[in-house]
Amino acid sequence: MAGVFVAVLVLIARLVIVQGLMGANYEKIATIERVGKVRSQAPRGQIKGSDGTVLARNLESHSLELLPAKVKTDRVAAIVGRLRELLDMTDSEVQQLRAELVRDADPRKRQPLVVRRDLVSTHCPYDSSQLELTSEVEYRFCPVCGRNFEPIPARKACPFDQRKLQSVPGGDGMRCSSCEREFSSADLCPYDHHALHHGHHNLKCPLCQRTFNDEVAVLRANLHLLPEARLQSEIQREYPFRYLASHLLGYVGYVTDADRAPLLPWLPPRYALTDRVGRTGLERAFDQALRGIDGEQVVVRRSGTDESAKGMDDLIAGLQPRPIVAGLTLRLTLDLELQRVAKVAMKDVFSGAAVVIDARSGEVLALYSKPSFDPNTMSGKRAPHGKTGSDTAAYAPLLDKAIHAFPPASTFKIVAAIAALEENIVNPATTFHCPGYYDFGGRRFHCHSKRGHGDVNLREAIRSSCDVYFYHLGELLGLDRLESWARKLGYGELTGIEIHEAQGRLPTREWYAQHVKGGYYPGFALSTAVGQKDVTATPLQVARVYSALGRDGILPNVTLVQGFEGPDGKLLPRLPRPEGRDLPVKASTLRFIRNALLAVVNDEGGTAYSSQPTNVVLAGKTGTAQAAQRPRPDMIERLKADPLALGRLTTWMQNDHAWFVGYAPAEDPEITVAVFVEHGGSGGHNAAPIAVKIVESWFARHPHAKAMDAPAGKGRRKAANSEELDETPIADPESVPTVPPEDDPANRPAGEPREAPGGAADEVLP
């Protein structure tokens, strides 16, 4: 019995402690309704151009969601009616919403229903500029209960539906029982007697002058009438320059189950459900660094008053919030101005790419691919609204053509030239006769000049791009030697750029045996020597190879990134990049090639003689790849409704690919430009002028000491060029008028990256 007594005394002693001594504490703690950790997403790092201009940033976007599980059937009409009023919804939207709500869903499926995305609040939905408040309409709202108040009308009838107003119990406010609007003439909330705030929710965009309703503010003020709805804010990725650099920036997308799957089965999922990951371009290449590390916040929600947080500190301290580690900001080497110039220079072409790299360091200064796309639509910032029958897909807007492999055409001739010189097959004085064709293995290979070039030496062959001369070299070298020299020069390998690039293809006899029906045929070597048939290279690769030719045979490693910015905006030291490698080519050979490339642009008879920049000496090589094709059947099907677009497409596809690659200044190259125009016509006429505009723009901004010191007697200046130069800087990416696919609001990227066209031609033009 005594034992029992002792035991009960122990219990009571404990009760005295709990209820008597610590009771007040517990009472306080008991106001906690819930405590938890909430994952807070780290802001994704920005991407900036070389001058610090922000190319990718984060914007808060708001959306209104309904929780279908909470919506009772008898409330559907009221909810829909109110939303229609607040959000200015169209009839079809209303109908859709109603159907969505009435449909009986699996009650366990608690997926919220998104009513409206991208509510207007702080930024213009059209151009993302910061909106300004205008004071046209004033309203008053209670900061405590969130109600909005209209002034009480004289007749005490609701001005909206003429119902008689009823007074609010315990206050001097009025209320309309039918539309549930609140009225008050006093500046105190009739419900909780807090001072009302004055505000205005009319917003104006300083750029486009559109006015908007502050939808978020309106919804926030009325949300107490819609307990089933909630406002969700989300950080969205925003690309302010839209089409300008979309390919290299890439875009982000929501994670898929495949993304989330852990690397090893027992590990936790790699991403949270609502995470977004970089899908293409730099967003993908630097995803880990950009995303940062998500933090964990401690959330304590208390009922009753917030009078004291004391006594709970120890409880909360135990929860250990994890700080957010913001994503790193990426600074690019990209020169935004030059990128714009490249874009403008290509305004008359349907499809193609322009690459500018620093010839010494391999830093990418511009990398533009056309047609472009708006990464905002891909990231969910703006809803894509495409129109059917669009021919956009035919021009492969998603494909980054600057790093996609195409037949390099005559720009590849330097491989045969270098190989032949290095292997002592020819010397600079060796001549071949060009009658306009070359018969080999029972078939006739044409020169682009029907009349023929007559007796040409190697320099003249490069200058006038005589195909017959290179057929001879191809025959003498053979396919495999061509391939090995191309590889030595930097073809067929990755350039080192951080984004996902094509490697290009350098076929060998073995490759033909494996991949082509009928196997190798000696004529293939001839086609390969002039950059046709199955050999492919990316514009970036070609630019890199030509940088090496222009700069004493040092093949640079291409990079797009200067480094990461620290919190103070200064560049963090980056990991050392691999050095460029030396080409195994004799200096005399390089000198010869450089001389020949200079002649292409600056000597009469050169294929790019008509394209000389006014402010610098350019050297380079044109290329024209025969690539006539017919539209694919699915394209024809797609464009049935739009015969005009189909006609345009068909004509376009008949054209050859145009190339130009060159460096300037010719004697000490700073930049290398590669321009590829898909089905653009001829390299000299359609690609070289684009390169010239880009080069001129660059040297207008970066005057070169020797720029005007052009070699005497070689140049012929064109006055027209200097006029064009003035037009080039364009401030707003939107204001650039361009041919169809680009900047069309309906520009909707679609379709898969295409296979490189071409390769079907046996016969070769320049």
Partner 1 sequence: MSDLARMRQPSTLIGLFCVLGLCAIAIENLHFADSMLGTTYHRSQTIWIVVGLIGAGVTARLDMQFVRRVSPFVYAVLVVLLFAVLFFGREINYSKRWLELGPANIQPSEFMKMSIALMLADWFDKKRSQTPWKLRQLLIPALLIGMPVALINREPDLGTSVCVALIALGVLLYDGVQRRTLVMALCVALIGVGLAWKFDIIRDYQKGRAETWWHAMQDDDKTPDTGQGGANRDNWQAEKALWAVGSGRVAGRGDDEARVSVLRHVPFVHTDFALACFAERWGLIGCIFLFGLYLGLVWWALHIADRAQERFDALLAIGVAGLVFWQFFINAGMVIGLLPVVGLTLPLLSYGGSSALTVLIGAGFLLNIALRRKAR
What residue ranges bind partner 1 (CB under 8 A)? 1-8, 10-12, 14-16, 18-20, 22-27, 29-30, 33-37, 303, 315, 318-320
Among partner 1, Zn ion, none, residue 137 binds (CB under 5-8 Å by kind): none
Residue 142 found at the interface with Zn ion (CB under 5 A): yes
Minimum separation from the CB atom of position 406 to Zn ion (A)? 23
In the set 55, 64, 189, 416, which binds Zn ion (CB under 5 A)? 189
Q: Which residues contact 106 (CB under 8 A, 6 or more apart)?
A: none
Please, what is the Cα angle at 620 between 536 and 624, to 5 degrees?
45
Q: Is 60 helix (H, G, I), strand (E, B) or coil?
A: strand
Among Zn ion, partner 1, none, residue 207 binds (CB under 5-8 Å by kind): Zn ion
Residue 207 found at the interface with Zn ion (CB under 5 A): yes
8 A C-beta contact, residue 396 and residue 351: yes
CB atoms within 10 A of CB 264: 5
Among Zn ion, partner 1, none, residue 161 binds (CB under 5-8 Å by kind): Zn ion
Shorter beta-carbon distance to partner 1: residue 2 or 99: 2
In the set 138, 161, 439, 723, which binds Zn ion (CB under 5 A)? 161
Shorter beta-carbon distance to Zn ion: residue 193 or 574: 193
Among Zn ion, partner 1, none, residue 266 binds (CB under 5-8 Å by kind): none
CA dist., res. 456 & res. 607, Å (int): 15
Shorter beta-carbon distance to partner 1: residue 16 or 208: 16
Q: Which residues contact 514 (CB under 8 A, 6 or more apart)?
A: none
Among partner 1, Zn ion, none, residue 2 binds (CB under 5-8 Å by kind): partner 1
Shorter beta-carbon distance to partner 1: residue 24 or 77: 24
Tokens of 60: 């808060």
Minimum separation from the CB atom of position 565 to Zn ion (A)? 28
Shorter beta-carbon distance to Zn ion: residue 187 or 634: 187
Minimum separation from the CB atom of position 417 to Zn ion (A)? 14
Among Zn ion, partner 1, none, residue 513 binds (CB under 5-8 Å by kind): none
Task: Give the β-pairing of 113-119 and 329-332.
Answer: unpaired
Q: Which residue has 């193609």 as its token pair? A: 352
Cα–Cα distances (Å) from 502 to 279, 390, 499, 528, 536, in that order, read: 17, 27, 10, 19, 10
Q: Which helix (H) or strand (E) holds 610?
A: none
Burial bucket for residue 186 (CB in 10 Å: 0-12, 13-18, 19+):
middle
CB atoms within 10 A of CB 8: 10
8 A C-beta contact, residue 579 and residue 557: yes
Minimum separation from the CB atom of position 67 to partner 1 (A)? 13
Shorter beta-carbon distance to partner 1: residue 94 or 299: 299
8 A C-beta contact, residue 575 and residue 687: no
Residues between 467 and 506 with contacts to Zn ion, criterion CB under 5 A? 468
Minimum separation from the CB atom of position 324 to partner 1 (A)? 18
Among Zn ion, partner 1, none, residue 235 binds (CB under 5-8 Å by kind): none
Among Zn ion, partner 1, none, residue 18 binds (CB under 5-8 Å by kind): partner 1
Cα–Cα distances (Å) from 524 to 375, 479, 480, in that order, read: 41, 7, 11
According to DSSP, the residues that pair with 296 across neighbouring strands are: 39, 322
Shorter beta-carbon distance to Zn ion: residue 139 or 564: 139
CA-nearest of 674, 640, 637, 635 to 653 is: 635
Residue 708 found at the interface with Zn ion (CB under 5 A): no
Residues near Zn ion, by CB under 5 A: 124, 126-127, 142, 144-145, 158, 160-161, 176, 178-179, 189, 191-192, 205, 207-208, 434, 447, 449, 453, 466, 468
